[in-house]
Structure 1
Amino acid sequence: MILMKEKYNILLIICDQQRRDHLSCYNGGNIPLKTPNIDSIGEKGIRFTNFYCNNPICMPNRSTIFTGQYPSIHGVTTNGRNLSEGTETFAEILRRNGYHTASFGKIHLNYFGAPYGEKYNNPTRSQEFVYEKDYKNLTHRSPYFGLEETKIISGHGTFLGHPDYKKWMIEKLKRNENLQAKLNIKSGSSDKTLERKIKKCFHFIIKECDVEIQVFKHKVPEELYSTNFVKETTIGFLNRFAQGKYKKDNFFCFCSFPDPHAPFTPPGKYFDMYNPEDVPLPETFSDDHHEGIKFFREHFLHSKKTEGTNDKDFPHAKDLTKQEAKKALAAMYGMEKMIDDAVGDILKTLEKLSIAHNTIIIYTTDHGELGGDHRFFFKGPFIYDALIHIPFLMYVPGMSQNSISNSLVSSIDIPETLLEFAGVEIPSYMKGKSMVPIFTDPNVKINPNILIEMDDNYTDQKTRTIVEDEWRMTLSDDFGQLFNLNKDPHEKNNLWDDDEYKDKKLELLLKLCHKMSHNIQHSVQRECDY
């Protein structure tokens, strides 16, 4: 337990499905996208270079962040499985220990799609439904997994919804005459009129879309876009807290952006901000998987439907052109730049309100994005570095500044770290390690290795991955991968069948078995696709 002169507030900023190398602090400034505001968190604190997710899918890894348990233990092994009601989270522990707990944006501890006819049996209700037809079935639990105050948005791109988001858009239009004029709305219009106008904004400008690669131009103004919803509701909360509107002296705030997850829909000026011709492609984009794993080769030739990909929503990898990939990445940049601008406004608000001096700030993502690596996009049971190796920046007032740590850490370590910094006892059921020692000495090693789980119901692929400082090994029923990360950082040369490395493979297999032996396989019932 650490001793504190003053109890910390906690601001956890997370986005959805972001490549680590799309942040300037991780890419050396080698791409057109610049992220100075996000980078500043690491400049004030620590930039972690060996941070991994524990599952490359949204709901499983978000549940891991909240519970400090592996998916095989908390049961959310894929999307479409609700974290069990009554599950204790680190937010609940903070709430019981004097923190006001709040969340603004995407949470995704309940599914946000809807049950599809007879595909899934015994559907339960959700607190996070995205489609209006399902709002009648929304639950209204409070606190919600330990979160006392929530403003939720569900979905991605412009396929978004939730009553919280809908109400916010209507109220914002009522207060903003300039925005009314921009959307050709008469002053004093009814809520139903405003709602109709809003729905029209979400229609695509087809002639300027590239539907094949999920790049969509639309009429949603920047002021009403999801990123601004998350930013403004977060800033509103910080203002209320600074004004003493809450009974508690400290806060935990979960600020969660739905972008840059596909579809790629940057609004307004962000849509054309980056020229596709200026976008570099990943070094492995030319991979044709000719001599590689059969399962990956099949996905390359004819896209498979997996937990992270849909065979009808994107070109098959073999047919994806460089120009298409660049255009998709340019649109992704636009979404990420808007997030960086939003983060900048949030950080300025902390300073303006004089609460930055005792607020821990984290920036991370729930998992990565293949983004053209090995010619694949999105996510799924294709365990490559871009999907599992993610950004993590953390600032703790009065501790290590402008430091770099290459200590192996992962999403499961977040809750224990925050609880220790909050001066709260860590429950024995949590399976991570506190990162607190790293803030005294960034060179400290707290994990000898990292475990990554991935279950795919659509292809029946179940993979388990172990990562060490120099090695990454992935085991599946049908294939194995072994990469020397020092000599082969782009993972071009799979050493699984190389007899020269059979001892290393056996060593890692034994370590993986030991790591998995503590995890009892348990899945909650699946009731939805996502």
Structure 2
Amino acid sequence: MINRPNFLFIITDQHRADHLGCYGNPVLQTPNIDRIAAGGTRWDRFYVANPICMPNRASIMTGRMCSIHGARHNGIPLSKDHTTFVELLRDAGYNTGLVGKSHLQSFTGLPATNRFEAQDGLTTPSAHLRDAYKNNRHSSEYDLEVAPNWHTRLADRLKGDFYGFDHVEVVADHGDQASGDYLLWARAQTPDFDTLTGPANALPDNRIDAPQAWRTAVPEELYSTSWIADRSEAWLTQQAGRDAPFFLQMSFPDPHHPFTPPGRYWDMYDPADITLPASFGRGDLPPIKAMKEAMKNGTDPRDNQNPFAVTEDEARAIIALTYGMITMIDDAIGRVVTRLETLGLADNTVIIFTSDHGDYMGDHGLMLKLLLHYQGIIRVPFIWNDPAAPVQGNVDPGLGSSIDISATILARAGIQPFNGIQGRDLLSTPPPNAIIIEEDSQRTMTGFDRPQRVRTVVTETHRMSLREGEDWNELYDLKRDPDELTNLYDAPEAVDVRHCVTETMLRRIIELQDRAPLPAYRA
């Protein structure tokens, strides 16, 4: 029987790979994460299964693609009919805890943009027959993370575990707008806490003028990043001396927008010191041109989740603020790792670090995410530090995916995965020749006249993205054109390459077709 290690699984939100010191960022200070990487392995080419929060988090939990588990975009919860790797850990005797962001269910409670519409002249099916799935995840058990209804702790509203987690203390939303269990705690500490949050209550600061950026009045000690560190330390303290191993997911809602690092982290980085991406202001794809035109005309909404174009000054300011949020997270991680050491747990705890997706952060002059699968969006950090198998700053160049995280953790824990898991053990199996990335949108974005469906393949040398309903696609040579500036999809000299990449994509998609459930009988 394998010695069962503990796991500290750290995940951030909207955090691209090159926004860490250990991934080559010369400005950003992340000494604690860098130290974890220095004693372990970081994957240089690790990609998301989907570049959106809920779908990719569901893929991490299940080790399966979004087209299989069904949480295709935000607003579709992960079905409780789907097995998670945390449930297998719990089943094998692990104590399981989640502190921070979950986002396996919806936050907003707003009506969906895609709904069943009755058609004139046709008989409308009964309500329970209007979807291909009779259990269509619309029941109250899938409304547990709706922020406006979060009046009591999530743990007090549960019957049993939460997707395998026995202990849950959850944050919804982002920046100083964070809610959930965290907000209940913050209001208990400071009854007038709501007078500290949001742009209307922001502290004056004339140096920063950028969309979704304000100097929050929330002090550092009441900010969600600090709360997550506090509660993680408390839970780990409870594990000391227990016989059972533990799995703790410590999940930060930053550095996702809005850009509101508190206290000293607000002006820790000077926008003047920020170097813009090499692709800034370049790119002629239809949505890029549309976003630039909308910025010029002042018609682009810049206060929601949709991507938008930015000026150079806005990009530098937002990147500087994002760096502040990341350094605050790094400081919090340092606190928790120190607590592991103080408790005598560090020598048997595997530390894992990743993010759910990236952000344009100025790539091609854009901000946020959605629909254009540039490297800043789809490539995220992945770090594995195992004290039982120490290495010094190892870098794995192979292709890895979010769906691989669950299989790797289960293998290290000595637990056989369930039938239908699609990820691989990153530590003992060879990398695939291609990674598939899926994205479906629920609403129309600037530059499009319909919701989009995009499928991307990343190989050792190329990235190709195909989209439904458009007359343009993308193909880039990542070796010669790492900034993805020259679209080769329609280039005559790239026809053979396109055909080869297309076949690779198709074969990989076939490989990722579902192998669950198991048959009941032999034919």
The TM-score bracket by the shorter chain reads: 0.7 to 0.9
Verify: 1:294 aligned to 2:294, yes or no: no
Q: Is the 8 A contact 1:48 1:392 kept in 2?
A: yes
CA offset digits 1:291-337 (Å, max 9, x no partner)? x322332233237xxxxxx8342899996321111111111111111
In the TM superposition, residue 261 of structure 1 has moved relative to its aligned partner by: 0.1
CA offset digits 1:355-383 (Å, max 9, x no partner)? 11111110110001110001111100011
- Structure 2 residue corresponding to 1:492, chosen from 485, 494, 498: 485
Q: Is the 8 A contact 2:113 2:443 kept in 1?
A: no
- Structure 1 residue corresponding to 2:81, chosen from 80, 83, 86: 86
* AA aligned opposite 2:17: R
- Give the match for residue 336 of structure 2: 346
- Give the match for residue 327 of structure 1: 317
CA offset digits 1:212-259 (Å, max 9, x no partner)? 511111211111100011111111011110143xxx510011000000
- Structure 2 residue corresponding to 1:274, chosen from 269, 273, 281: 269
Q: Is the 8 A contact 1:274 1:330 kept in 2?
A: yes
Once the two structures are superposed, the pairs formed by residues 494-513 of structure 1 within 5 Å of their partners are 494-513=487-506
- Give the match for residue 65 of structure 1: 60
Verify: 1:146 aligned to 2:169, yes or no: no
Verify: 1:386 aligned to 2:381, yes or no: no
CA offset digits 1:20-55 (Å, max 9, x no partner)? 11100112x422x21110111111110110111110
Paired with 2:291 and 2:94, the residues of 1 have a C-alpha distance of: 47
* AA aligned opposite 1:159: Q
Q: How many residues were matched structurally?
A: 475
Verify: 1:165 aligned to 2:182, yes or no: yes
- Give the match for residue 228 of structure 1: 226
- Give the match for residue 361 of structure 2: 371
* AA aligned opposite 1:404: V
- Give the match for residue 524 of structure 1: none
Q: Is the 8 A contact 1:286 1:375 kept in 2?
A: yes
Once the two structures are superposed, the pairs formed by residues 66-465 of structure 1 within 5 Å of their partners are 66-116=61-111, 123-125=138-140, 126-132=143-149, 139-162=157-180, 164-169=181-186, 173=189, 194-195=190-191, 197-203=192-198, 204-205=201-202, 207-208=204-205, 212-244=210-242, 249-287=244-282, 289=283, 292-302=284-294, 311-313=301-303, 320-402=310-392, 403-437=394-428, 445-459=430-444, 460-465=451-456
* AA aligned opposite 1:454: E
Paired with 2:481 and 2:498, the residues of 1 have a C-alpha distance of: 16
* AA aligned opposite 1:69: R
Secondary structure at the aligned position of 2:418 is classed as coil
In the TM superposition, residue 64 of structure 1 has moved relative to its aligned partner by: 0.1
Where does structure 1 lack aligned partners over 5 or more consecutive residues?
A: 174-193, 304-309, 439-444, 522-530
Structure 1 residues 350-359 or 511-520, which shifts more?
Answer: 511-520
In the TM superposition, residue 150 of structure 1 has moved relative to its aligned partner by: 0.3
* AA aligned opposite 2:289: R
* AA aligned opposite 1:149: H
Structure 1 residues 47-56 or 454-463, which shifts more?
Answer: 454-463
In the TM superposition, residue 466 of structure 1 has moved relative to its aligned partner by: 0.8
Going from structure 1 to structure 2, the CA distance change for 1:226 and 1:471 (only over 3 Å counts) comes to: same
Paired with 2:227 and 2:115, the residues of 1 have a C-alpha distance of: 32
Paired with 1:318 and 1:366, the residues of 2 have a C-alpha distance of: 20
Going from structure 1 to structure 2, the CA distance change for 1:148 and 1:319 (only over 3 Å counts) comes to: closer
Going from structure 1 to structure 2, the CA distance change for 1:117 and 1:378 (only over 3 Å counts) comes to: closer
CA offset digits 1:55-104 (Å, max 9, x no partner)? 00000000000001100000000001111123210000100001011100
Paired with 1:117 and 1:256, the residues of 2 have a C-alpha distance of: 26
In the TM superposition, residue 470 of structure 1 has moved relative to its aligned partner by: 1.2
Paired with 1:108 and 1:277, the residues of 2 have a C-alpha distance of: 35
Secondary structure at the aligned position of 1:513 is classed as helix
Paired with 1:269 and 1:389, the residues of 2 have a C-alpha distance of: 29
Cα-Cα RMSD: 2.4
- Give the match for residue 120 of structure 2: none
Going from structure 1 to structure 2, the CA distance change for 1:458 and 1:102 (only over 3 Å counts) comes to: same
- Structure 1 residue corresponding to 2:474, chosen from 481, 493, 508: 481
Paired with 1:67 and 1:316, the residues of 2 have a C-alpha distance of: 27
Paired with 2:7 and 2:213, the residues of 1 have a C-alpha distance of: 35
Secondary structure at the aligned position of 2:506 is classed as helix
- Give the match for residue 18 of structure 1: 15
Q: Is the 8 A contact 2:213 2:318 kept in 1?
A: yes
* AA aligned opposite 1:41: I
Secondary structure at the aligned position of 2:147 is classed as coil
Q: Is the 8 A contact 1:433 1:447 kept in 2?
A: no
- Give the match for residue 528 of structure 1: none
Structure 1 residues 136-145 or 328-337, which shifts more?
Answer: 136-145
Where does structure 2 lack aligned partners over 5 or more consecutive residues?
A: 117-126, 128-137, 445-450, 515-523
Secondary structure at the aligned position of 1:453 is classed as strand
Identical-residue share of aligned pairs (%)? 35
In the TM superposition, residue 502 of structure 1 has moved relative to its aligned partner by: 0.9
Paired with 1:30 and 1:40, the residues of 2 have a C-alpha distance of: 16
In the TM superposition, residue 168 of structure 1 has moved relative to its aligned partner by: 2.8
CA offset digits 1:445-466 (Å, max 9, x no partner)? 3221111001112232111111
Q: Is the 8 A contact 1:301 1:318 kept in 2?
A: no
Secondary structure at the aligned position of 1:127 is classed as coil
Secondary structure at the aligned position of 1:101 is classed as strand
Q: Is the 8 A contact 2:8 2:250 kept in 1?
A: yes
- Give the match for residue 26 of structure 2: 30
In the TM superposition, residue 134 of structure 1 has moved relative to its aligned partner by: 7.0
Secondary structure at the aligned position of 1:158 is classed as helix
Q: Is the 8 A contact 1:213 1:315 kept in 2?
A: no
Q: Is the 8 A contact 2:56 2:402 kept in 1?
A: yes
Please report the TM-score for the alignment, with normalisation by the length of structure 2: 0.86
Secondary structure at the aligned position of 2:288 is classed as helix
* AA aligned opposite 2:176: T
Q: Is the 8 A contact 2:43 2:381 kept in 1?
A: yes
